[in-house]
Amino acid sequence: MPGFELFGAEEKKEVQDVLDNGVLMRYGFDSMRNGHHKALELEKDLAKKMQTQYAQVVSSGTAALTVALACAEIGSGDEVIMPTFTFVASFEAILSVGAVPVLCDIDDTLTLDPKAVEAAITPKTKAIMPVHMCGSMADLSALKAISEEHNLILLEDACQAIGGTYNGKPLGSYGDLGCFSFDYVKMVTCGEGGGLITNSKIYADRAHKYQDHGHDHVGNDRGAETHPFLGYNYRLSELNAAVGIAQLRKLDHILEVQEKNYTILRDALTSIPEVTFRRVPETGVESYAFLSIFLPNEDLARKTHKALGANNVDACFYWFDNNWHYYKKWEHLLEQKSLGKFSNEIQLGLQKNKRSFDPSDVWMGRTISCLIKLNWTEAEVKERASKMVSAIKSVL
């Protein structure tokens, strides 16, 4: 991770196809395309790779979540349960459809705690959104059972976990809808882009319309198309889709390399009794995008993070103090700092997030996650492992 480490002739070829025909927009201008429909091709490839019936590519991972929520008819005043550890896009998407993000504690998977989810359900709850952070997943079977019991949508935010599996199914395909990010630092990148997958014909039909201003895409005259419902512009360009086509073909190779590098690092750290690892749910296989470790307490985790940096071990993250990924620094959400006025329902709903999340703090205070890169040589990975062991032991 990320896919841009593997940019090469394959991406250039796909992009050149688009530049040669000159059609950068995914819709219309069919006579000029020379048979190239890159966004459509990427959708077919994504659905096949994720073992779902349908896929829709859009302009970002945030757009994918927004379109998915809209397709599930989640809107004004509806509550969506999401974790305290995620990227800000998760709550941005929820707010964008007029719904209320309800923060919920995580457990040792670093994702939603099913017991906390059950406690957070109210009559206004419409969906549960587990976020498979740093390449590994939530206890999806437990969350699915809860969603079925309460008649809720299960929406998987798999933006950081493409390629991982649960119970033999690709992440994103287990729930009602699944979303991916294809931005510049993801395992599969379009430069900017995202995608959603589903086995629901209803959701798929809504998605292709909603992401293109509500166009029904019937007939060959775009100007004559009707609009069954309101939509917005979340389209993916042909140039971005072209990059994604080549990148998605490399996913199996990316996963193989990441697992190899991850395993070398993890095996080295198992020699330190005080270091433990995030729990991967039974039947789950992570994408190996990050190696996440637990130190015995917050103080040692902070010192370890500093020691890793001092030993030139880069790309290690202490999320507890991170502005983008942990609720403690989401002042703009918690204090409702919006350019436009929120609805009364959102204002009232967000108040319930202004509380402590002690279980989350316990786990995140102890967590350090290290990015797994693709271009390391085996010698470089082993040298990194040695440096990590030395740095951690110097603190302990």
CATH of domain 252-395: 3.90.1150.10
Note the pLDDT tens digit of each residue in 287-340: 999 999 999 999 999 999 999 999 999 999 999 999 999 999 999 999 999 999
Mean per-residue pLDDT over the chain, rounded:
97
Note the pLDDT tens digit of each residue in 337-376: 999 999 999 999 999 999 999 999 999 999 999 999 999 9
Q: Read off φ and ψ for residue 154, nearest 5 degrees.
A: -105, 110
Q: Can you give the pLDDT at residue 1?
A: 78
Q: Indicate which residue of 49, 126, 144, 186 is catalytic.
A: 186
**Residue 124 designated active-site:** no
Q: Which amino acid is at 235?
A: R
Note the pLDDT tens digit of each residue in 204-235: 999 999 999 999 999 989 999 999 999 999 99
Burial of 308: CB neighbours in 10 Å, binned 0-12, 13-18, 19+ = buried
Check if the beta carbon of residue 275 is closer than 8 Å to that of residue 269. Answer: yes
Gap between the Cα atoms of 161 and 171, Å rounded = 7
For domain 3-250, give the fold: Aspartate Aminotransferase; domain 2 (3.40.640)
Q: Can you give the pLDDT at residue 2?
A: 87
For range 240-261, the mean pLDDT: 98
In the chain the first and final C-alpha atoms are separated, in Å, by 29
Check if the beta carbon of residue 185 is closer than 8 Å to that of residue 2. Answer: yes
Note the pLDDT tens digit of each residue in 109-141: 999 999 999 999 999 999 999 999 999 999 999
* pTM, entire model: 0.97
Over pLDDT 90: what percentage of the chain?
99
- Domain edges within the chain: 3-250, 252-395
Check if the beta carbon of residue 352 is closer than 8 Å to that of residue 81. Answer: no
